[in-house]
């Protein structure tokens, strides 16, 4: 597609995702791969995050970005480790930040996100995603089936865009990507 991408790690420092569960403390890969996400999650911590710093170029890339997009990833173990690196969350302030919900209804598109929400005592939903990212995102892209949550999410100060967010194939991925690009380029026209 002619897109040149410069991939940066969040940090060059060691940051470990630790899952505190009903069977004790586990490294994320042990929880996810070896135990197939079966232990009950009680807490998640990012060991070393407080001592880490953004990798070279990360803060500059955020500063130069027209918009930041959180893909439909598990907020607990995919996005939060990045935000735990000092300076990254602060760098997002003042930027257009959009997130695509990783949940449709109370189900995760992929992986254990809904399970983790439930085990942490949070009803899995697009509203829970909005509350989790509250104060950080400007817009949440939610599924058509969750359109009834739109006004509650807007009430949190987060705009919504309702669409078919299930990406079954390349055409779906392209369609959703194009919708998000249109949201970014026409941000002032987005209707709450």
Q: Report whether pLDDT(149) > 90.
A: yes
pLDDT tens by residue, 49-65: 999 999 999 999 999 99
pLDDT band, residue 189 (cuts 50/70/90): low
pLDDT at residue 174 greater than cutoff 60: yes
Per-residue pLDDT reduced to its tens digit, 57-107: 999 999 999 899 999 999 999 999 999 999 999 999 999 999 999 999 888
Among 69, 88, 73, smallest CA distance to 9 is for 88
Q: pLDDT class for 141, splitting at 50, 70, 90?
A: very high
- CATH architecture, domain defined by 54-186: 3-Layer(aba) Sandwich (3.40)
Sequence-ordered list of residues with C-beta below 8 angstroms from that of 48, at least 6 positions apart, any chain: 13, 14, 15, 16
Domain-wise residue ranges, the chain: 54-186
Return the pLDDT at 191: 41
pLDDT surpassing 70 at residue 190: no
For 54-68, 111-125, 131-145, which range has the lowest pLDDT when averaged over its residues? Answer: 111-125
pLDDT-derived band at 187, boundaries 50, 70, 90: confident
Give the pLDDT score at 51.
97
CA distances from 153 to 8, 56, 69, 79, 128 (A): 31, 35, 18, 20, 9
> Does the pLDDT value for residue 43 go beyond 70?
yes
Looking at residue 106, its pLDDT comes to: 86
**Strand pairing partners for 99?**
70, 140
Handedness of CA 77, 79, 85, 89 (dihedral sign): negative
């Amino acid at each position: 597609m002619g897109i040149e991408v410069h991939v940066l790690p969040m940090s060059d420092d060691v940051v470990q995702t630790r899952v505190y569960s009903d069977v004790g403390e586990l490294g994320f890969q042990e929880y996810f791969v070896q135990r197939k996400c079966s232990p009950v999650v009680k807490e998640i911590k990012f060991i070393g995050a407080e001592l880490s710093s953004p990798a070279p170029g990360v803060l500059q890339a955020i500063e130069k970005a027209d918009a930041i997009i959180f893909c439909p990833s598990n907020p607990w173990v995919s996005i939060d480790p990045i935000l735990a690196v000092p300076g990254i969350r602060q760098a997002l302030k003042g930027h257009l930040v959009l997130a695509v919900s990783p949940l449709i209804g109370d189900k995760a598109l992929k992986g254990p996100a809904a399970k983790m929400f439930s085990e942490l005592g949070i009803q899995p939903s697009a509203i829970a995603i909005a509350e989790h990212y509250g104060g950080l995102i400007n817009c949440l892209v939610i599924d058509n089936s969750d359109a009834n949550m739109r006004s509650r999410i807007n009430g949190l100060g987060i705009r919504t865009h309702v669409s078919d967010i299930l990406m079954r194939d390349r055409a779906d991925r392209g369609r959703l990507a194009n919708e998000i690009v249109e949201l970014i380029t026409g941000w002032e026209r987005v209707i709450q």
